[in-house]
């Protein structure tokens, strides 16, 4: 049993990321360029609105620009694509983000495909996902990119380790499975993906050195499901009602159960979430730099 687990603070690590970005931001501003993100938000999804508000605040704190474009729930695909086309052509917009999920009548793939890949700071365009799959990433999806920073910052070398990823979405599970297995420093792991079609996921988590959880199932992973000294990265953000009837946020990992058995664990909130926003900022700065070189 580990009585002193390392709590991997995304709040602290994101501050370090912003400090490192400051010179790059100043260099751009000296050329009269302010990295600018356009966020498209459709409908009234409360979680999406909170997430967009957090992104906007972080951009403001860093004296960057973030413009939120609101659409009603019943907006048509054509309207969204027309707006994205405008943003693609706007030289003052460096990054475009469409907040997911979109309403059911809209084809998310078609919308994401309409974003110019050099402004796709979320990394979801097939062009950028294809580069990632080929091992030559351009824009990396923000949450997986943030997870890899934990390993780099805390010097957790993955070579020879067994990583188990629980979840296979294009937003987290699939990209992080590629990143952890790339032949490079802080990667080169043997990576297993588990998902809803896997039989007895716990058989895999019990032998994993590192477990990355992204399934949206509150407190799914408990102490009996891991080996001593495992590292747990918790991407889940689940709103539940506690024993006092109050709403609280919990992850996919049962933090209380796990904390004395793991070598290290990310908390919820304050773990992966802040790093997702930090990587969005970094990708937007990078997009501004690339577009400046090409202009």
Q: How far is CA 54 from CA 59, 143, 189, 246, in A?
A: 9, 15, 33, 22
Q: How far apart are CA 253 and CA 199, in angstroms?
A: 19
Please list the active-site residues: 55, 99, 122
Burial class of residue 46 in the structure, from the number of CB atoms within 10 Å of its CB (0-12 exposed, 13-18 middle, 19+ buried): exposed
Tokens of 254: 């049962």
**CA angle 252–258–259, rounded 5-degree value:** 115
Per the CB < 8 A criterion, the answer to whether 195 and 150 are in contact is no
DSSP assignment of 159-175: TT-EEEEE---TTTHHH
């Amino acid at each position: 049993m580990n009585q002193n687990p390392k709590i991997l603070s995304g709040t602290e690590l994101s501050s370090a990321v912003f400090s490192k970005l400051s010179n790059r931001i100043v260099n751009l501003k000296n050329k009269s360029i302010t990295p600018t993100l356009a966020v498209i938000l459709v409908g009234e999804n409360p979680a999406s609105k909170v997430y967009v508000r957090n992104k906007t605040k972080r951009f403001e704190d860093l004296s960057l620009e973030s413009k939120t474009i609101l659409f009603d729930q019943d907006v048509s695909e054509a309207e969204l694509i027309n707006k994205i086309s405008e943003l693609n052509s706007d030289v003052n917009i460096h990054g475009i983000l469409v907040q997911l999920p979109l309403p059911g009548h809209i084809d998310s793939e078609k919308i994401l495909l309409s974003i110019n890949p050099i402004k796709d700071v979320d990394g979801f365009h097939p062009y950028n996902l294809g580069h990632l799959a080929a091992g030559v990433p351009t824009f990396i999806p923000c949450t997986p990119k943030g997870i890899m920073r934990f390993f780099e910052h805390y010097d957790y070398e993955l070579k020879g380790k067994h990583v188990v990823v629980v979840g296979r979405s294009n937003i987290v599970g699939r990209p992080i499975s590629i990143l952890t297995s790339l032949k490079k420093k802080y990667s080169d792991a043997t990576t297993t993906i588990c998902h809803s079609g896997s039989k007895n996921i716990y058989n895999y988590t019990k032998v994993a050195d590192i477990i990355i959880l992204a399934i949206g199932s509150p407190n799914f992973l408990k102490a009996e499901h891991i080996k001593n000294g495992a590292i747990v990265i918790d991407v889940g953000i689940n709103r539940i009602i506690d024993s006092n009837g109050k709403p609280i946020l919990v992850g996919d990992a049962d933090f209380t159960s796990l904390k004395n058995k793991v070598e290290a664990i990310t908390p919820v909130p304050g773990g992966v979430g802040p790093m997702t926003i930090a990587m969005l900022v970094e990708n937007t700065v990078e997009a501004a730099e690339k577009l400046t070189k090409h202009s």
